[in-house]
Amino acid sequence: MNRPVSRFAIIAAIIRKDLLEFSRDRLWMILTPLTLVMFTAIFWLMPYQVEETVTVGVAPGALGRALELLGSPGLRLVAFDSEAELAAAVAGEQPDAPPLSIGLAFPEDFLLQAARGQPATVRVYVDALVPPEVRHAMTSAVREVAYTLSGAPLPVSLAAEEVVLGTDRLGQQIPLRERFRPLLAFLVLMVEALALASLIAAEVSSRTIAALLVTPVRSADILAAKGLLGTVLAFAQAFLLLLVTHSLGGHTAALLLAVLLGALLVSGIGLYTGAAGKDFIGTLFLGALFMFPLMIPAFALLFPGTASAWVQVLPSYGIIQAMVGASHGQGFVELAGYFTSAALWVVAVFALGWLALQRKVTSP
């Protein structure tokens, strides 16, 4: 008497078949390891620290050396004997001078003019890449120096303590390499979503899925196998990238949960785009339509500040925020809100992909 084949054995057989087909696809067998190598190289070539000290040149030299006593943490003053040398240093035309972005050229008799309360013209040299807010800060600093040297009180008094809203990163700025961790990990997940979509689209066009239904395989078995395969492939690739980039610090369990949710999310996208795409180009086009909006929260991390409301409602926002928080030591309690929103989006997107593929599987 033949025993009925278990559903788990059928799902495992479908996964083995898909892995065999995936291994025969030269494009993805080359693209997948190449992506890992490329992202790993990009990560290790990025700056690993942030220069938080602003170097400002001051001319003439006597005044510059006097103002060095007024320096503060994060501000370095360099004296130059003449305005011409200062301008050349800011322009990068003096190899022996320290790299400068800003220069302050005071008149030779600035101290005398300030003591008499007479107006003086100070020329500010800035590099083209200096942000406008830094330029305005230097202009304000010149006025403050003039008030200090003239002995006149400042027209505005500030509170003794500053009120910092959000996370205070003074002295602990996040390097560009650290900011790119979630971006690179999520890019790897999206690449595997495209690989899964390509595999499904090929099987749909070749009627391989329809042929499977002639056997004891049910449509639910095919859906479960595709979803499980996509999740495992995406999670394995992202985990490998985190491993080779030494990104498993912080709260490892929370980080892996965030990556797992990301793998489920991109698997749902792969199910949908693979079922909706009619050919390889169409599948890639649909995948790109999903990829670019989902990458926005990761790119938003490169620029300090609070993300806009429309960015926070994107499906990938909670996942990426949870990955960042977990990598900095936050646990499940601190990240509960992000995990909840990510889980809800995962259920919705995975269900959408499941239904789209189910229509392809059951359609004649």
Mean per-residue pLDDT, 241-265: 87
Give per-residue pLDDT as tens, 265-300: 988 888 888 888 777 677 778 877 888 888 888 777
Classify residue 324 as exposed, middle or buried by CB count within 10 Å of its CB (0-12, 13-18, 19+).
Answer: buried
With 70 as the cut, is the pLDDT of residue 161 above it? Answer: no
Confidence of residue 348 (pLDDT cuts 50, 70, 90): very high
With 70 as the cut, is the pLDDT of residue 364 above it? Answer: no
Q: What is the DSSP string of 204-239?
A: HHTTHHHHHTTTT--HHHHHHHHHHHHHHHHHHHHH
Q: What is the DSSP letter of 118?
A: -
Confidence of residue 157 (pLDDT cuts 50, 70, 90): low
Model pTM score = 0.69
Output the average pLDDT for the chain.
Answer: 76
Which tokens in the block code for residue 5?
Answer: 């084949």
305/323 Cα distance (integer angstroms)? 18
Mean per-residue pLDDT, 207-233: 81
Please report the pLDDT score of residue 343 as a whole number: 93
Give per-residue pLDDT as tens, 91-127: 777 777 777 777 778 777 776 776 676 777 778 787 7
Please report the pLDDT score of residue 306 as a whole number: 59
Please report the pLDDT score of residue 42 as a whole number: 81
The CA distances from residue 81 to 69, 108, 167, 265, in Å, are: 17, 10, 41, 61
Domains for the chain: give ranges and CATH numbers.
7-47+174-362 (no CATH), 54-150 (3.40.190)
Q: Please check whether residue 67 is in contact with residue 145, taking contact to mean a CB–CB distance below 8 angstroms.
A: yes
With 70 as the cut, is the pLDDT of residue 49 above it? Answer: no
The Cβ-side half-sphere exposure at 269, using a 13 Å CA radius, reads 30
- Single-letter amino acid code for the residue at 14: I
Mean per-residue pLDDT, 224-238: 88
Q: Please name every residue paired with 103 in a beta bridge, in sequence order, or none if there are none.
A: 57, 125
359/38 Cα distance (integer angstroms)? 37
Mean per-residue pLDDT, 339-349: 92
Maximum mean pLDDT: which of 20-29, 113-122, 246-255: 246-255
With 90 as the cut, is the pLDDT of residue 257 above it? Answer: yes
Which parts of the chain fold into alpha helices (H)? 7-24, 26-45, 61-67, 83-90, 110-116, 132-150, 176-205, 208-212, 219-244, 252-276, 280-300, 309-312, 317-327, 336-362
With tokens 């087909």, the residue in question is: 21
Give per-residue pLDDT as tens, 183-197: 788 888 888 888 888
Give per-residue pLDDT as tens, 197-216: 888 887 777 777 777 777 77
286/314 Cα distance (integer angstroms)? 17
Please report the pLDDT score of residue 60 as a whole number: 78
